[in-house]
Amino acid sequence: QVQLVESGGGLVQAGGSLRLSCAVSGSIFNLRAVGWYRQVPGKQRELVASITTLGSTNYSDSVKGRFTISRNAKNTVYLQMNSLQPEDTSVYYCGADGVVRYWGQGTQVTVSS
């Protein structure tokens, strides 16, 4: 089993920044990648950014150049979000890909105009 705990969401004005954290614990040796996803009511959950165990990163077109995914040596994955816009408002989830995809509980990000 893998446990994911997100933190760092909140309310920010347009143009501002937030950093989300995802603490990964448990049976992490089989994980291939960790990603940040977001979902608004009535829409599918979408991938925002991901990072593999080898450090390769991938971003959705909507966040390229504004968001940065990274990780530290203690199994925490970060999402630095700059130049936030109202359309970035969503619940952000951390997801880890192993035998199955594991999910955190989500953290709300609200960007006011």
Token pair recorded at residue 76: 């925490």
Section 95-101 average pLDDT: 93
Whether the pLDDT of residue 99 is over 90: the answer is no
Query: For the segment 12-36, what is each residue's pLDDT rounded down to a tens digit?
Result: 999 999 999 999 998 888 899 999 9
**Which pLDDT does position 100 carry in this prediction?**
92
Query: For the segment 49-87, what is each residue's pLDDT rounded down to a tens digit?
Result: 999 999 999 999 999 999 999 999 889 999 999 999 999
**Which pLDDT does position 30 carry in this prediction?**
85
Token pair recorded at residue 85: 């816009």
Whether the pLDDT of residue 104 is over 90: the answer is yes
Query: Cα separation of 3 and 55, whole Å?
Result: 20
Residue 97 burial by CB count (10 A; 0-12/13-18/19+): exposed, middle or buried? middle
